[in-house]
Structure 1
Amino acid sequence: MQKKQAPNYTFALIVMFAVMFLIGFITTMNNSMIEFCKEAFGLKDSQGQLVNTAFYGAYALSIPLGMMMNKIGYKKTLLLGLAVVGIGFVINYFGISSLLGMETSVIYSVFLGSMFIVALGIVMLQLVANPYVMVLGSPEKGAFRMTLSNALNSAATTVAPVFITYVIIAGKAKTPDAVPGPYLGLGIFTLILCVVLFFMKLPNINEEQQAEEEGGERKEYKSSVFSYAHVWFGMLGIFFYLGIELGVPSMLPAYFKSNPELAAYGTATDFLPYYWGGMMVGRFVGAAILNKFKPRRILSICLCCGALCVAASFFLTGIASVWAMLAAGLFHSVMWPLVFNLGLQELGPHTKKASGIINLGVVGGATLPLLMGWIVDNPALGVGYAVAMMFIYYVYVFWFCNFGSKIGLSKK
């Protein structure tokens, strides 16, 4: 019997890689505006972190949005996500522009509300991108495809802070009227992309049928995605991973503020591209070596090395401690795709819903930096205690990698 020819998913993967770039750019652009917003609106550290809370808080709706995706499919969810992102940016621009002259607290509330709308669209795009990239090809290469797509995501996270620093806010007074400008262009671009993709054909994947064709036999799945323990542990893995990824860039401004001698080297924003650049390099390297080493081994090594970099920052002084923290980005790079991949194992028809559950963990980006911001604002604690919180996050993700992700899976 002649073996069925494997379908060509090249175009669909290119689309998903472009979407991952857009997700990375918008997410990091949002995070990079925190310091600017703090001065524009006269905010404390904890209030500034509300930008992250509004953005990542939208991921609390991941499960119902994942169920929606299970009903309407990948393409419609992709188009809806792009439309919501574009609309959110347009609301941001016109909403803030129409309120200039009013209390800054009112304008800041509109800013946070519009970014929550943008984040809802990003959640939908994230829900599509991760499982869709996983199923666009053989399961064995799933981690490789996810790492490569996240490498392009990291390229965007590297470009975004540079774009913000040298193009968007360079030379501008830090006032509320300077805030909405960057977002209108992104909104228009996103809406145009949505219209273009509406007329393009993307493959519809049946995960259960694909698994049978790959494995050569019919596999029995549990009746509900909620019965898979490793999915829930994976959700918590993403929750704590967000604390790891955002811990350094969110705390770096406070670290510079608590160490005035660092002002001679520039601002925290000047150094952020090195962190995101390290993540970009790490993901491209990770994509290259994933074909040679097991994902769990790579993730374990990266967790240990990342924790060592953060630990070194406590023992070093001056600019050396900053570089130690920035170096952690190189090892944080592959954690998202590997944690996500481990959480999506052996799910077949439950893959879409499981993506919603795991994405729920992104609320860690809304809660953990905010918690760290409160610690920074507490005079009895400070930025050192806030950064030390990251070790708790490392420990859990290490446990999930080596133990939690194996619970309930078939032994191979």
Structure 2
Amino acid sequence: MAVSVVSTSPRPPVEPGSARSYRPALALLASLFFMWGFITVINNTLLPHLRSVFELNYTQTTLIESTWFVGYLVASLPAAKLIERIGYQRALVIGLAVMTMGSAGMILAASLPSYGVTLVSLFTVSCGIALLQVAANPYVAVIGPPESSEARLTLVQAFNTTGDVLAVVFGRYLILSRTTAGTSAEGVQLSHAQRMADAQATELPYFIVALVLAALAVVIARAHLPALGAATQRTNAEQRRNLSLWSHRNLILGCGAIFLYVLAEIGVGNLFINFASQPSVANITHEKAAFYLTFVWGGMMVGRFAGAWIMRNFAPDRVLAFFALGALLSALAATILHGPAAMYALIVVGLFHSIMFPTIFALAIRGLGPLTEEGSGLLIMSIAGGALVFIQGAIADNYGIQTAFVVTALCELYVLFYALWGSKPTHALAEVALDAEA
């Protein structure tokens, strides 16, 4: 392993137009955050579509999303190793290439149609996203002043959520509105011919996605991103013996917070359309429910842009505690209330989820110093918590879809605990300096 240089002196301020101005790099990275948010949230409209095409119950439907998040579990730690060997920029290009292949596989899955090819293709896309996440999140966190890392990461995550919002609109018009199931009431039985015709609806959306990903890979490959030099690489084996990730409470408990937060977010997004379509809730079609789903992700987008400013003025852990409490109360309301009020309560959960991932991530890698990359790999691996969404599917099948959001409330409770106590750093190391080389 390469020797890591750790700086104990403060970083000089970033001057606009100087070699240390990383705004162009942040702008380019924001496009990556946008794109992987877009592709992830297409699943919110894809899952109810696949449920009708393959005649799945809630457990089987959410198992599709579980396969997606297993990709994070499998790819995250190897991704950290790959970044160490080839660097951040090449890793980003490879991640985009893998996502392009997976998207092309979804075109094949729609043309067959094939449930198995669908699972393999979604797994491939998620592996590519995991590589992007492991590379881009710590990159954004360390290329500016450490005291503003939470705000900076929240800002670029806002572009991630912008992609989420547009993905719902994209999926609504190019998938649900073009299918019989998407424009029918909940529970309507379709003929085999109708289901096979509906399956073809995903060919055009994923063809567009594959083209955009391929073009973005070319742009990233030709871009001049600032190099994160030896100071941000891992320590060699001899130095590494004296450093342990397990001594950092904020990281270990932060992995749990990421794990459960993602489970909460994915549960809300994936079950929302079926939830809102229930006669006891809003009694609307899937296409109409997708319209209301845009407000879930729209709330997250607004919350992240606002959160980037809020955390420049208030302590990030206190902001996280406030948002976690709001999400907890909203999730409980969605479980208890009936009629449209339950749907509106679930929409509000999106607003309170807004700052959670970037804030937890930045708090969790605080004080890791030369262990930042390895810690980042663990945190991204923790995104695999979304794989447990099948538990909510099983609860929905056996006790009703509204009861399933008790799981969401329990996840918010843990995030509140992390904000109040678990995020406090222990055994903090000196911050890692950033090389000015371009």
TM-score normalised by length of structure 1: 0.89
Tell me if 1:142 matches 2:149: yes
- Which residue does the alignment assign to 1:205? 228
Tell me if 1:341 matches 2:359: no
For residues 169 and 264 of structure 1, the distance between their equivalents in structure 2, rounded to whole angstroms, comes to: 13
Tell me if 1:255 matches 2:275: yes
Q: CA deviation at 1:112?
A: 0.9
For residues 52 and 4 of structure 1, the distance between their equivalents in structure 2, rounded to whole angstroms, comes to: 44
Q: Where do 5+ consecutive residues of structure 2 fail to align? A: 1-10, 15-19, 181-194, 234-239, 431-438
Letter in 1 for 2:150: A
For residues 329 and 152 of structure 1, the distance between their equivalents in structure 2, rounded to whole angstroms, comes to: 15
For residues 321 and 33 of structure 2, the distance between their equivalents in structure 1, rounded to whole angstroms, comes to: 25
Tell me if 1:373 matches 2:380: no
Q: CA deviation at 1:70?
A: 2.4
Q: CA deviation at 1:270?
A: 2.6
Q: Pick from 8, 11, 16 the counterpart of residue 29 of structure 2.
A: 16
TM-score normalised by length of structure 2: 0.84
Letter in 2 for 1:249: G
Q: Pick from 114, 123, 127 the counterpart of residue 121 of structure 2.
A: 114
The 3 A distance-change label for structure 1 pair 30 and 399 is: same
Tell me if 1:238 matches 2:283: no
| Counterpart secondary structure, 1:389 | helix
Letter in 2 for 1:13: L
Tell me if structure 1 keeps the 8 A contact 2:281–2:343. no
Q: Which moved more, 1:118-127 or 1:266-275?
A: 266-275
The 5 A counterparts of 1:249-398 are 249-260=269-280, 262-263=282-283, 267-367=288-388, 369-378=389-398, 381-398=399-416
| Counterpart secondary structure, 1:205 | coil
Tell me if 1:78 matches 2:92: yes
For residues 76 and 90 of structure 1, the distance between their equivalents in structure 2, rounded to whole angstroms, comes to: 21
Tell me if 1:180 matches 2:203: yes
Letter in 2 for 1:330: L
Letter in 1 for 2:149: G
- Which residue does the alignment assign to 1:38? 51
- Which residue does the alignment assign to 1:154? 161
Q: Output the aligned Cα RMSD.
A: 2.4
Q: CA deviation at 1:178?
A: 2.2
Tell me if structure 2 keeps the 8 A contact 1:67–1:352. no
Tell me if structure 2 keeps the 8 A contact 1:92–1:114. yes
Q: Which moved more, 1:233-242 or 1:68-77?
A: 68-77
Q: CA deviation at 1:5?
A: 6.5
Letter in 1 for 2:297: W
Q: Pick from 191, 194, 198 the counterpart of residue 217 of structure 2.
A: 194
Tell me if structure 1 keeps the 8 A contact 2:281–2:338. no
| Counterpart secondary structure, 1:179 | helix
- Which residue does the alignment assign to 1:103? none
For residues 265 and 108 of structure 1, the distance between their equivalents in structure 2, rounded to whole angstroms, comes to: 24
Letter in 2 for 1:151: A
- Which residue does the alignment assign to 1:214? none
The 3 A distance-change label for structure 1 pair 403 and 228 is: same
Letter in 1 for 2:29: M
Tell me if structure 2 keeps the 8 A contact 1:93–1:183. yes
Q: CA deviation at 1:306?
A: 1.1
- Which residue does the alignment assign to 1:25? 38
For residues 209 and 124 of structure 1, the distance between their equivalents in structure 2, rounded to whole angstroms, comes to: 17
Tell me if structure 2 keeps the 8 A contact 1:172–1:178. yes
Tell me if structure 2 keeps the 8 A contact 1:230–1:343. yes
Q: CA deviation at 1:27?
A: 0.5
The 3 A distance-change label for structure 1 pair 307 and 124 is: same
Q: CA deviation at 1:311?
A: 2.0
Q: CA deviation at 1:261?
A: 6.2
Q: Where do 5+ consecutive residues of structure 1 fail to align? A: 101-106, 211-219
Q: CA deviation digits over 1:258-313, x for unaligned, max 9?
A: 43562258743231101111111111110111110000000000000111112223
- Which residue does the alignment assign to 2:420? 402
The 3 A distance-change label for structure 1 pair 257 and 155 is: closer
Letter in 2 for 1:387: F
- Which residue does the alignment assign to 1:90? 104
Q: CA deviation digits over 1:204-253, x for unaligned, max 9?
A: 1248479xxxxxxxxx9952435434322211111000122122222323
